[in-house]
Amino acid sequence: MTFRSPFVAASLIACVAALSLGACATQPATGSSATSAAPADNGPAYGPELQGFDYPAPVHQFEFTSQGEALHMAYMDIAPAHPNGRTVVLLHGKNFCGATWEGSIERLSAAGYRVIAPDQIGFCKSSKPQRYQFSFQQLARNTHALLESIGVKNATIVGHSTGGMLAIRYALMYPSETQQLVLVNPIGLEDWKAKGVPSLSVDQWYGRELKTTADGIRRYEQATYYSGQWRSDFEPWVQMLAGMYRGPGKKEVAWDSALLYDMIYTQPVVYELGQVSVPTLLLIGQKDTTAIGKDAAPPEVRAKLGHYPELGRAAAKAIPHATLVEFPELGHAPQMQDPAAFHKALLDGLAAIPANR
């Protein structure tokens, strides 16, 4: 299956604007100078449901009613040329979308897997309800209803970052329909509130989100997602997020983002890892330091947070049927930072589970 890149137009816009500053160098850039190579907030503007941003495969909409509100959940459903009988569901993180799984979709599809990549409610191309009780249980129910609607009765659930918290919740709620659980640098492996991270109100989160810029996203992603590295192929994902905050739906996007941060902070899953009953593969970039609200915590608390070598090993010990694969030099997004190493580990891990489990 051939995937066209959905990002050419957006990248060209950013590159043309920043050409004189060297932002579009073809060689990978490293160090702090990489983040200063592009303008602070220059690039395309997208609608509140990422209107104007193309995905790597056709986008379908699952329409349903939840909490008395008519909603739609965007998703891609990619059929492989040579099916192996298995389905993989890819759950994105907080600052990601279904489209950011582009490389994984291509590799999994080529290996024979049917791939479902949804955008959760409140994210990306899906509905942005202004009054919604966000919970991981609700998002898991929404995802389960989507899969039921397209005839998927059993699947491998892959979750990255916040999607990892959701994947754990899904496996706890639907163990008989979860063939395998794969967690890619999941957050929620520690309870930030219990460790001393101060609570932020939804209004405070909203105020922070309204200040989102491409430069702020880029700096955070370089430090956390890519362990200090920066390459030109990371830039489209910066523009994907920043574009929603430049567009006419900026306030809608920021408000739902604030509600989602509150959900993440207040609904830890770490205490239930021992109840996960399905085979679990942990793929952990060791240089990740992600911890929600860490920047609002005092220095002595901040120093205790986001130690992924420890968190990954503790999770592997807590989950009864877990296999841990560590990437010593990678950060929060190993599937994007080193696709070759990541996808080898992923495909090897998936192959270890019988197709008829």
Summarised one tens digit per residue, pLDDT across range 295-309 is 999 999 999 999 999
> How far is the C-alpha of 324 from the C-alpha of 280, rounded, in Å?
9
Which tokens in the block code for residue 106?
């291509």
**Which residues lie closer than 8 Å to 48 by C-beta, 6 or more apart?**
128, 244, 247, 248, 249, 250, 252, 253
Q: Which residues pair with 90 in a beta bridge?
A: 158
C-alpha distances out from residue 195 to 117, 191, 286, 329, Å: 33, 6, 21, 26
Question: What pLDDT digit, counting tens, does each position of 37-76 carry?
Answer: 444 567 999 999 999 999 999 999 999 999 999 999 999 9
167 φ, ψ (degrees, to nearest 5): -60, -40
* CA–CA gap between residue 70 and residue 128 (Å, rounded): 11
Nearest residue to 195 via CA among 314, 316, 293: 293
pLDDT in the model for residue 36 = 39
Please give the domain boundaries of the chain with CATH numbers for all domains: 8-351 (3.40.50.1820)
CA distance 20 to 22: 6
Name the residue among 208, 196, 188, 194 with its Cα closest to residue 297. 196
Ranges of residues in the chain whose predicted pLDDT is under 50: 1-39
DSSP-derived secondary structure letter, 90: E
List strand residue ranges (DSSP E) for 2-135, in order. Answer: 29-30, 60-66, 69-78, 87-91, 114-118
Nearest to 45 by CA among 253, 221, 255: 253
The reported pTM is: 0.89
Taking CA atoms, 356 is separated from 43, 82, 89, 155, 218, in Å, by 47, 17, 17, 11, 42
User: What is the pLDDT at residue 317?
Assistant: 98
